[in-house]
Amino acid sequence: MLPKLPRDGLLELCRRMFLIRHFEESLVPLHDKGVFGGHYHLYIGQEATGVPAISCLKPDDYLFTTHRNHGHLLARGAEPKRLLAEILGRVDGLNKGKGGSFHSVAPSLGFLHSSGVVAGIIPLSTGTAYASKALKNGRVTVCLFGDGSLEEGAAPEAFNLASLNKLPVLFLCENNGKYGAGRAVAAGQSSSMAAYPLTDLPKAYKIPAQQIDGIDAGLVHATVSEAVEKIRGGDGPQFIEAQTVRWPGSETNWPSVPHPTDSSLAWDVSAVAEKAREWYHSCDPLLVFVRELVEAKQATKDEIAAIERQVKTEIAAAVEFAVASPYPKPEEAERNFFA
């Protein structure tokens, strides 16, 4: 379903989802050509969770995210060119080249820190929530992490602290481990987590927890906005598990694009290789959203194509900017590690 938003709101969500999709796809050839090194993780296949969820927040709310952070930063409004420059380690990057993909931040947008250590941010999110409560500034913290984080001891420790102290934090778990052709299939039991469903873990601490279909933008939007409102009202922490089907491009050791995204795929996937076809047909949240917009007559196919063209132009310019940005001077390594 579609989020309950006016048409321009819906189109803006659509634009941001396309932005994330084309940004992420642009990284693959850059990496494969050696323009940047190190590992990187793409948010493709999760756009309908991040974009509607983050749209529910206020400008001064805090967000914490993990190594899979590009989508979250872009959803929140970070400039694609500066994020790309950071991933390339250039001086015009968000972190001046010092963080790289895993640690991109944008404090003015509420992203104080990203951690590449699984579950590294979960205790931190209880901290900003604690501070917000103490300073009475009404800020909510959203902690975005994957299902793997729940295996780390840091997660239950943080849940306990959040629950005990009624901290204003939303734990938003993106479980992209759902395998299966159709969306009706719920995420199966993980081979590395004995608890099932995952919502049992926060529930043990009396934290209200629910599982939702992360591909349903409208459901994500409604669930997150309700949860955030409760948290802002002083109800204490909440937990949402949003389930998506893992993008086939992640299956290889290094990301690869099975088929470049184009809005026309929403109606015809015949050009996609058989292995990935089913995913693009039923599990791609961006294409699902696009189809629903058209079906609900909130946009025409042409309008959507136009949005996508504009996004592609923006991304191409971002790539040009980032590649042209210089590397930081080597001496910079010795500076700016103490305030």
Chain residues binding other proteins by CB under 8 A are 62, 64, 93-99, 103, 105, 107, 112-113, 115, 117, 120, 122-132, 134-135, 139, 141, 151-158, 160-161, 163-165, 191-196, 200-201, 204-206, 336-339
**And the tokens for 328?**
């930081």
Residue with Cβ nearer other proteins (184 or 194): 194
Residue with Cβ nearer other proteins (205 or 321): 205
Phi, psi of 112 (to 5 degrees): -85, -25
Residue with Cβ nearer other proteins (37 or 107): 107
Residue 118 Cβ vs other proteins, minimum distance, rounded to whole Å: 10
Residue with Cβ nearer other proteins (184 or 339): 339
Among candidate residues 226, 237, 110, 232, the one with its CA nearest the CA of residue 167: 237
Residue 154 Cβ vs other proteins, minimum distance, rounded to whole Å: 5
Say whether 271 sits in a helix, a strand or coil: coil
Do the beta carbons of residue 167 and residue 207 sit within 8 Å?
no
The rounded distance, in Å, linking the Cα atoms of 213 and 283 is: 11
Residue with Cβ nearer other proteins (160 or 282): 160
Name the residue type at position 175: N
Residue 253 Cβ vs other proteins, minimum distance, rounded to whole Å: 24
Name the residue type at position 28: V
Q: Which residue is listed with tokens 């459901």?
A: 219
Residue with Cβ nearer other proteins (25 or 92): 92
Residue 105 Cβ vs other proteins, minimum distance, rounded to whole Å: 4
Beta bridge partners of 209: 239
Residue 112 Cβ vs other proteins, minimum distance, rounded to whole Å: 4
Long-range Cβ contact pairs of 25-30 (< 8 A, separation 24 or more): 25/257, 25/260, 25/261, 26/84, 26/315, 26/316, 26/318, 26/319, 27/70, 27/84, 27/87, 27/255, 28/249, 28/255, 28/256, 28/257, 30/88, 30/319, 30/323
Query: Strand order in 111-114's β-sheet?
Result: 111-114, 62-65, 141-146, 169-178, 238-245, 209-213
Alpha carbon separation from 206 to 160, 164, 166, 237 (Å, rounded): 9, 9, 11, 9
Residue 64 Cβ vs other proteins, minimum distance, rounded to whole Å: 8
Residue 108 Cβ vs other proteins, minimum distance, rounded to whole Å: 9
DSSP string, 185-217: SPP---TT---SSTTHHHHTTT--EEEEETT-H
Residue with Cβ nearer other proteins (44 or 121): 121
Residue with Cβ nearer other proteins (122 or 187): 122
Residue 7 Cβ vs other proteins, minimum distance, rounded to whole Å: 36
